[in-house]
Amino acid sequence: MSTPSPAAEPQGEGSPRPGIRLPHTLGHLASGALAVTAVATVAAAVAQWHMDSVIGPLHDNASVRTADGYIRADMWLGNLLGALKICLGVTVVLLAVWFARMRANARLLDPAWQQRHGAGWLLLSFLCAIGLLFVPKMIVNDIWAASTPRPDQRRGNGLLTVWWLAVVAAVLQLSQGLKELGGTDATWEVRQGLDTLLLADVPLVVACALTFLVVRRLGALQAGHPAAAQS
């Protein structure tokens, strides 16, 4: 007579969670992209300052094309702003994929912690711009909390709040500056757009630095989590 096999023991709080894969390479790529974006921002700021000095002697209603050295300054400004846009696009894609992987890990590290707002919410927030002001931050709050060993879990902290404020400020200011600068030859409009872009450069560099810190800290949290260490 065969004896029944013993029932599987329930997983304890410190039991391994299968399927946890820390995206180290992706994190390094995202960190590198952030560093390149910060350098591109500084280079674009220098080009913006140079353009401002070139058109400085002109009357507000004059065409910027009449300024000495305008063609060369415009070429450098256009090239560096284009490079900055490419860097930002690559960085956003890398970070989106990295955060998606970290979110999948967070579900495994602590299945009991509710992960709010999935990919559908992100798509909807793109249709309603105001949603972009808080939905991504709420998603990162939940990833961070679930990646933190108990009992220290909580949604949000000072680093994430300052990071997201810098990101929002940089995006809004940069978008406004590019809008003001595009498609105009009037000196006062170009000067206004340059001033707005120069104001955007500071929060953009700060946002890159804080995002780099968030990536490193969140990666360290998941790597040091007891469940990840045992998996």
- The letter for the amino acid at 207 is A
Residue 208 located in a structural domain: yes
Lowest-pLDDT range of 1-10, 53-62, 70-79, 108-117: 1-10
Q: Is the pLDDT of residue 46 over 90?
A: yes
70-109 vs 24-55: helix crossing angle, rounded to 10: 150
Q: What is the pLDDT of residues 196-209, one digit of tens each?
A: 999 999 999 999 99
Residue 18 located in a structural domain: no
Residue 15 located in a structural domain: no
Evaluate whether 143 touches 218 at the Cβ level (below 8 Å).
yes
Measuring CA to CA, how many Å separate 186 from each of 62, 82, 87, 176? Answer: 6, 22, 29, 17
Return the structure tokens found at 11: 């997983």
Question: Can you give the pLDDT at residue 56?
Answer: 81
Query: Which conformational region is residue 175 in: left (phi greater than 0), alpha (psi within -120 to 50 degrees), or beta?
Result: alpha
Question: Can you give the pLDDT at residue 195?
Answer: 92
Residue 14 located in a structural domain: no
Residue 68 located in a structural domain: yes
Return the structure tokens found at 39: 């350098």
**Domain with 38 in it:** 24-230
Residue matched to tokens 């930002």? 88
Residue 197 located in a structural domain: yes
Residues 188 and 63: their CA atoms lie apart, in Å, by 9
Residue 3 located in a structural domain: no
Question: Can you give the pLDDT at residue 211?
Answer: 96
pTM for the predicted model, two decimal places: 0.82
Q: What is the pLDDT of residues 64-119, one digit of tens each?
A: 778 888 889 889 999 999 999 999 999 999 998 999 899 888 888 877 666 676 65
Residue 7 located in a structural domain: no
Q: What is the pLDDT of residues 128-159, one digit of tens each?
A: 566 677 778 888 888 888 888 877 667 778 89
